[in-house]
């Protein structure tokens, strides 16, 4: 770590300095702040876990649609997590998944009716993707992986963190696609009149290109954190949980590179 800049770490393989956000984040596990930060950065559902790809690719043609989809999903995540956490000791083990689906579908129906009544333009724009939140793997995944095993407060925070992380991911992807594909942001023209829109960015190939760019950036940040000499094994890494990993001391995030370093007498 650089003495002048505590946010910089030294790459033990190449010796280059890397920005390391994890140095600024020290939160106790399974607390509301840790759950929120975890959902936004360490386990961002789109960029790190690759969940919810259908709405991510389909609704990010404009920032407005991205905000609508992200906030509606956040509301459903929070309420379903909270409700499932309250019922976690009552729901029989063999009825777990059907019960989760019923709870999630109920909140999706409520949000669907509210949007249809109060934001009809947004409802028409998002179309079938609002009812399809029922089968969004982010919702079911958090219910099964977290809310069904933890208390209401941290489950609510987990839903909020995952929802905000999902919303932020949609917005940044949509901003790039709309700006390059239409020359606008949230429907407001920001590019000069002479700008020629790159139509591919409002089509499916453009969605994959932009998503891949942000996934690469996030993975680079996480790998840079994992390559510190003083890497904390209780922290998170792109491939999962590092607590029980025997390679964590010399992990670079690239197994082939690690093998080459270790064969030459490197750490590992």
Digitized pLDDT (tens) for each residue of the chain, 268 residues in all: 444 555 554 444 444 454 555 556 667 888 999 999 999 998 999 999 999 999 999 999 999 999 999 999 999 999 999 999 999 999 998 999 999 999 999 999 999 999 999 999 999 999 899 999 998 999 999 999 999 999 999 999 999 999 999 999 999 999 999 999 999 999 899 999 899 999 999 999 999 999 999 999 988 887 655 555 554 544 544 455 554 555 544 555 545 554 555 555 444 4
pTM for the whole structure = 0.77
To the nearest 10°, the Cα dihedral for 250, 252, 253, 259?
A: -70
In whole angstroms, what is the distance from residue 121 CA to residue 123 CA? Answer: 5
Q: Give the number of other CB atoms < 10 A from CB of residue 20.
A: 23
Tokens 């590092």 — which residue?
242
Instruction: Tell me the Cα Rg of the chain.
Output: 21
Question: Where are the domains positioned within the chain?
Answer: 28-263
How does 198-223 read in b/e, with b if 16+ C-beta sit within 10 Å?
eeebbeeebbeebbeebbeebeebbb
In whole angstroms, what is the distance from residue 223 CA to residue 210 CA? Answer: 20
């Amino acid at each position: 770590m650089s003495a002048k800049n505590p946010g910089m770490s030294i790459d033990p393989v190449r010796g280059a300095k890397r920005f390391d956000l994890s140095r600024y984040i020290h939160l106790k596990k399974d607390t509301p702040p840790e759950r929120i930060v975890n959902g936004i950065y360490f386990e961002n559902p789109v960029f790190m876990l690759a969940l919810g790809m259908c709405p991510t690719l389909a609704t990010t043609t404009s920032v407005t649609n991205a905000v609508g989809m992200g906030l509606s999903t956040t509301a459903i995540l929070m309420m379903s997590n909270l409700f499932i956490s309250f019922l976690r000791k009552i729901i029989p083990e063999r009825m777990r998944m059907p019960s989760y689906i019923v709870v999630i579908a109920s909140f999706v129906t409520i949000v669907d009716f509210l949007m249809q009544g109060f934001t009809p333009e947004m409802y028409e724009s998002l179309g079938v993707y609002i009812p399809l939140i029922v089968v969004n793997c982010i919702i079911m995944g958090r219910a099964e992986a977290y809310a069904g095993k933890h208390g209401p407060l941290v489950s609510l925070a987990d839903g909020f963190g995952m929802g905000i992380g999902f919303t932020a991911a949609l917005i940044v992807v949509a901003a790039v696609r709309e700006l390059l594909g239409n020359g606008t942001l949230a429907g407001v023209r920001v590019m000069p009149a002479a700008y020629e829109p790159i139509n591919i960015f409002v089509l499916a190939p453009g969605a994959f290109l932009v998503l891949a760019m942000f996934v690469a950036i996030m993975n680079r940040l996480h790998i840079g954190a994992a390559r510190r000499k003083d890497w904390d094994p209780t922290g998170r890494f792109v491939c999962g949980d590092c607590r029980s990993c025997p390679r964590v001391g010399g992990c670079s995030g690239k197994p082939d590179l690690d093998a080459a370093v270790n064969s030459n007498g490197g750490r590992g």
